[in-house]
């Protein structure tokens, strides 16, 4: 770490062999190992304007935190040290806890189906770390490289990046808050596009709704049951043999008619496209792509062929402008069928039947000069983007949800920026009505709650688009100085609205008590509180807009009543904003919108709510304004007026306020007690990934192992706990399942599977063990016993044997068995 109060710099500065310079704006610095490395750095794929990273600006500051550079073989290792007590976040789309302090991850886009909490590479890569200093100030660090990058946060208060080839490191800050850092980052990488308003409604998806009749039945059921929904997604089975830009002639014979029917009922249609194009002469997409020479090539210059859904596939080289133009023409023709949106899937890029789950790093991209030119796949595999429109597959993609899991997941999921239910093939139905009446009612309440909040969420997206502020953020963003908030994961923020995932605040165990940031946080609901729904709190000093409950966004009218929920701060003031436009298209970029800033103030027992200022060329709709002034305990005062005019609310006396709060709390308690909770029951049917398909953790004594049962008990990771030494890491890919741990090692993979006929996981016995048998043919079975003896904790024992089960004298054969014993000790 280095901190400076030295003289100002206005140009490149050498620090040893390292070079740093201010770029983009005040407080943002670029660091390179040397002048030569700066000149050799690849063009930035992180910055929306690549020139900004390379252009020095005049600055009156020097960086407070200076990285150190070290080169080991072909690796450039960059470290930045911070004060003790710094917390780390970010690192991109990676499983695990919110706080990344103490973790190590790898940026390498991976189709990680069935991933677990320790999987280190998921579908996107972001070599970015947000450092929250003990003071509450924050600083962001970006390793501007597309290469595979190790982000090591295991040493206290130190960020370490390691990637091949030279690359610059960009620091943002320190600034006063994490939000300020993200705003500065958005000036570099760009902001999210303004989403169409309908995309903020609920999306229903499955792999797959297998016919147009099934799709229409799903849509009809939503409307019949009064459950809000805006979008239905079509997975790969709508295609003709999984060929992109085609439709199955029997099951989806008339896509235009299907989409028209959906539109008439207030639904949009999203269709999947994959970049894997079937290697088949006569298929128009393959033929035109071959004619235009746009496929990614092998090292020998021939098109690379890898297996995806259609079988053997070739892949467009999107690093070339001509390939992007070719693809855009196909998309333009495709959307003429009435397609409202495209689901770009498998673009990690994902390849089946290979241990690495992707194409060889030796493949060739003939990229545009502005992107880095002619490079191998190692260079182009990863990208970087800000992505506020994000949310999980509600109910979980792999396996079956239970009613309680699905309903409570829906309760939280509807509060995420992107709200979609999705499930894999061969599982039970996962629509909101699929888990019984109690779960259905919870889903209905949850989704109606989301649709009421869409005016607020849409406004947050406008702010994200124009200013770079986050739509959703961790709770600690409300008070970065409070260390107790830094690991909170059962709540999050939507602007000034705090969503606490737990229900029944104050009526259960201590863990149900919400840990709120400092200041005023007032609970409220829409008379929809339920034990299986989250609790909502509005920060004092805030106003949020809400609308009426809808079945789909298209039902809304500009003349609908507008509701403002108001929470005054300790000074009796509050402010908020509402963004309105047509909900789709780009008219807003030409001034076609209305942005209204509302303020509320308490003076002499009267709260005045009014418009303080506006932006945009739209005229204000003539509509009623409904103000709900929060008092505490869920109690509120209601007042009505005309939007655009001052509205006054006379505050009742203090005893009357206390009585109102007491009454509201009793009503809330009664509503909670009378609500029908979702039963905690198991579901029947296929489990999706059962125990035999899940790596098993074996932990005892000195050892922690991860074992894959269905390939004969293969150990894929092995760690000696006391020393922290990891003896074995590997990547396993069998029938689409992948487990990836630590550093990737080259391996031929597994060429045969075993049918596991016996499993015995002894958690309470004398030793932690796993017993497996696999049929290897000829009446023989492989028997393996992996164990950690309780009395010898430093030993790992593996007993293997081939045993004859069905071979005997009557068959003319013979019986023979043998075994071997391996005992591993850690020295």
When the pLDDT of each residue in the chain is averaged and rounded to a whole number, the result is: 86
Residues 6 or more apart whose Cβ sits within 8 Å of residue 478: 485, 493, 498, 517, 519, 539
Q: What does the DSSP 8-state code read for residue 652?
A: P
**Residue 792 above 80 pLDDT?**
no
Helices 321-335 & 284-291, crossing angle to 10 degrees? 150
- What does the pLDDT look like over 297-321, one tens digit per residue? 999 999 999 999 999 999 999 999 9
Give CATH 2.60.40.1180 domain extents, the chain.
501-674
Give CATH 2.60.40.1760 domain extents, the chain.
13-189
Which among 771, 770, 767, 778 is positioned nearest to 803, based on CA atoms? Answer: 778
Q: What does the DSSP 8-state code read for residue 697?
A: E
- What does the pLDDT look like over 481-520, one tens digit per residue? 999 999 999 999 999 999 998 765 444 333 456 899 999 9
Cβ proximity of 276 and 306 under 8 Å: yes
730 or 176, greater pLDDT: 176
Cα 470 to Cα 477: distance, rounded to the nearest angstrom: 10
Cβ proximity of 290 and 299 under 8 Å: no
Mean pLDDT for the stretch of residues 164-187: 96
CATH superfamily of 501-674: Golgi alpha-mannosidase II (2.60.40.1180)
**Residue 174 above 50 pLDDT?**
yes
Which among 29, 1, 38 is positioned nearest to 141, based on CA atoms? Answer: 29
Mean pLDDT for the stretch of residues 615-621: 97
498 or 826, greater pLDDT: 498
- What does the pLDDT look like over 701-714, one tens digit per residue? 777 877 766 555 66
Q: What pLDDT does 803 receive?
A: 74
| Percent of residues, the chain, with pLDDT higher than 90 | 70
CATH topology of domain 13-189: Immunoglobulin-like (2.60.40)
Q: What is the band of 601 on the pLDDT scale with cuts at 50, 70, 90?
A: very high
Which among 675, 672, 665, 674 is positioned nearest to 523, based on CA atoms? Answer: 665
Q: Which pair of structure tokens corresponds to residue 428?
A: 């039970």
Mean pLDDT for the stretch of residues 472-487: 97
The answer, as to whether pTM is greater than 0.95, is: no
Residue 474 pairs in a beta bridge with: 492
809 or 173, greater pLDDT: 173
Cα 685 to Cα 285: distance, rounded to the nearest angstrom: 39
CA distances from 142 to 80, 146, 149, 193, 303 (A): 11, 11, 11, 22, 34
Cβ proximity of 584 and 196 under 8 Å: yes
Cβ proximity of 167 and 42 under 8 Å: yes
Q: What is the band of 387 on the pLDDT scale with cuts at 50, 70, 90?
A: confident
Q: What pLDDT does 147 receive?
A: 93
Q: What pLDDT does 797 receive?
A: 78
**Residue 42 above 80 pLDDT?**
yes
**Residue 86 above 60 pLDDT?**
yes
Cα 705 to Cα 718: distance, rounded to the nearest angstrom: 5
Q: What pLDDT does 89 receive?
A: 97
Cα 357 to Cα 735: distance, rounded to the nearest angstrom: 11
**Residue 263 above 50 pLDDT?**
yes
Q: What pLDDT does 795 receive?
A: 78
Q: Which pair of structure tokens corresponds to residue 38?
A: 């700066």
Three state DSSP letters for 253-316: CCHHHHHHHHHHCCCEEEEEECCCEECCCCCHHHHHHHHCCCECECCCCCECCEEECCEEEECE
CA atoms within 13 A on the CB side of 223: 16
Mean pLDDT for the stretch of residues 591-604: 97
Phi and psi, residue 242, nearest 5°:
65, 25
**Residue 424 above 70 pLDDT?**
yes
Residue position matching structure tokens 């596991």: 756
- What does the pLDDT look like over 208-258, one tens digit per residue? 999 999 999 999 999 999 999 999 999 999 999 999 999 999 999 999 999
CA atoms within 13 A on the CB side of 773: 12
E strand spans, 463-561: 472-474, 491-494, 497-500, 521-524, 535-539, 542-546
Cα 603 to Cα 597: distance, rounded to the nearest angstrom: 20
Cα 457 to Cα 462: distance, rounded to the nearest angstrom: 9
Q: Which pair of structure tokens corresponds to residue 293?
A: 């020479």
Phi and psi, residue 398, nearest 5°:
-90, 130
């Amino acid at each position: 770490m280095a901190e400076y109060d030295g003289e100002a710099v206005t140009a490149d500065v050498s620090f040893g062999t390292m070079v740093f310079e201010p770029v983009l704006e005040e407080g943002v610095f670029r660091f390179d190992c040397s002048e030569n490395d700066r000149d050799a750095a690849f063009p930035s794929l992180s910055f929306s304007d690549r020139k900004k990273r390379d252009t020095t600006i005049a600055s009156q500051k020097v960086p407070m935190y200076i990285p150190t550079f070290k080169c080991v073989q072909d690796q450039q290792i960059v470290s930045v040290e911070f004060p003790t007590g710094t917390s780390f976040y970010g690192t991109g789309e990676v499983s695990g806890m919110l706080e990344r302090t103490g973790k190590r991850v790898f940026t390498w886009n991976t189709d990680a189906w069935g991933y677990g909490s320790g999987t280190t590479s998921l579908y996107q890569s972001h070599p970015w770390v947000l450092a929250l200093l003990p003071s509450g100030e924050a600083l962001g660090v970006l390793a501007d490289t597309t290469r595979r990058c190790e982000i090591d946060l295991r040493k206290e208060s130190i960020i370490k990046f390691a990637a091949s080839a030279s690359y610059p490191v960009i620091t943002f800050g320190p600034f006063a808050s994490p939000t300020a850092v993200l705003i500065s980052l958005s000036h570099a990488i760009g902001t999210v596009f303004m989403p169409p308003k309908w995309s903020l409604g609920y999306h229903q998806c499955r792999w797959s709704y297998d016919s147009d009749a099934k799709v229409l039945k799903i849509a009809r059921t939503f409307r019949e049951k009064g459950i809000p929904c805006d979008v239905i997604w079509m997975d790969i089975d709508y295609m003709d043999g999984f060929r992109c830009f085609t439709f199955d002639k029997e099951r989806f014979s008339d896509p235009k008619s299907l989409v028209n029917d959906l539109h008439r009922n207030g639904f949009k249609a999203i269709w999947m496209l994959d970049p894997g194009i079937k290697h088949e002469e006569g298929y128009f997409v393959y033929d035109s792509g071959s004619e235009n020479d746009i496929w990614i090539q092998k090292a020998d210059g021939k098109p690379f062929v890898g297996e995806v859904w259609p079988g053997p596939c070739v892949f467009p080289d999107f690093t070339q402008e001509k390939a992007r133009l070719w693809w855009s023409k196909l998309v333009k023709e495709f959307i003429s069928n009435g397609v409202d949106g495209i689901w770009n899937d498998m673009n990690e890029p994902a390849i089946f039947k290979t241990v690495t789950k992707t194409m060889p790093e030796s493949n060739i991209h003939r990229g545009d000069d502005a992107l880095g030119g002619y490079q191998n796949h190692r260079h182009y595999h990863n990208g970087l983007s800000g992505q506020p429109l994000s949310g999980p597959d509600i109910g979980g993609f792999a396996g079956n949800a239970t009613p309680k899991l699905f309903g409570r997941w829906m309760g939280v999921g509807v509060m995420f920026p992107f709200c979609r239910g999705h499930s894999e093939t061969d599982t039970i139905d996962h629509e909101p009505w699929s888990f019984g009446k109690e779960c259905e009612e919870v889903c209905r309440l949850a989704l109606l709650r989301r649709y009421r909040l869409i005016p607020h969420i849409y406004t947050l997206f406008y702010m994200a688009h124009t200013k770079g502020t986050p739509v959703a953020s961790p709770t600690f963003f409300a008070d970065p100085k409070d260390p107790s908030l830094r690991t909170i994961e059962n709540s999050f923020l939507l602007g000034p609205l705090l969503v606490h995932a737990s229900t029944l605040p104050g009526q259960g165990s201590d863990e149900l008590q919400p840990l709120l940031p400092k200041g005023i946080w007032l609970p409220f609901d829409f008379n929809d509180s339920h034990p299986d729904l989250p609790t909502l709190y509005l920060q004092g000093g805030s106003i949020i807009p809400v609308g009426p409950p809808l079945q789909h966004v298209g039902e809304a009218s500009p003349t609908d009543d507008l509701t403002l929920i108001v929470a005054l701060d300790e000074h009796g003031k509050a402010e908020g904003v509402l963004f309105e436009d047509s909900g789709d298209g780009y008219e807003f970029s030409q001034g076609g919108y209305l942005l209204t800033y509302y303020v509320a103030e308490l003076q002499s027992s009267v709260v005045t709510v009014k418009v303080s200022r506006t932006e945009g060329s739209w005229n204000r709709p003539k509509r009623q304004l409904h103000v709900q002034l929060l008092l505490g305990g869920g109690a509120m005062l209601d007042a009505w007026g005309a939007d655009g005019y001052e509205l006054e609310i006379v505050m009742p006396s203090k005893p009357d306020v206390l009585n109102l709060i007491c009454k509201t709390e009793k009503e809330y308690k009664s509503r909670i007690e009378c609500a029908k909770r979702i039963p905690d029951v198991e579901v029947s049917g296929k489990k999706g990934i059962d125990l035999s398909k899940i790596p098993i953790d074996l932990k005892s004594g000195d050892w922690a192992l991860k074992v894959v049962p269905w390939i004969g008990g293969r150990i894929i990771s092995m760690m000696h706990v006391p020393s922290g030494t990891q003896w074995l890491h590997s990547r396993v890919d069998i029938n689409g399942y992948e487990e990836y741990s630590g550093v990737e090692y080259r391996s031929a993979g597994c060429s045969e599977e075993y049918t596991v006929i016996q499993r015995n996981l002894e958690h309470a016995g004398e030793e932690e063990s796993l017993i497996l048998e696999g049929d290897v043919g000829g009446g023989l079975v492989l028997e393996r016993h992996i164990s950690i003896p309780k009395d010898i904790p430093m030993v790992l024992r593996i007993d293997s044997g081939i045993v004859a089960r069905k071979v005997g004298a009557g068959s003319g054969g013979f019986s023979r068995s043998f075994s071997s014993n391996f005992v591993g000790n850690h020295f």
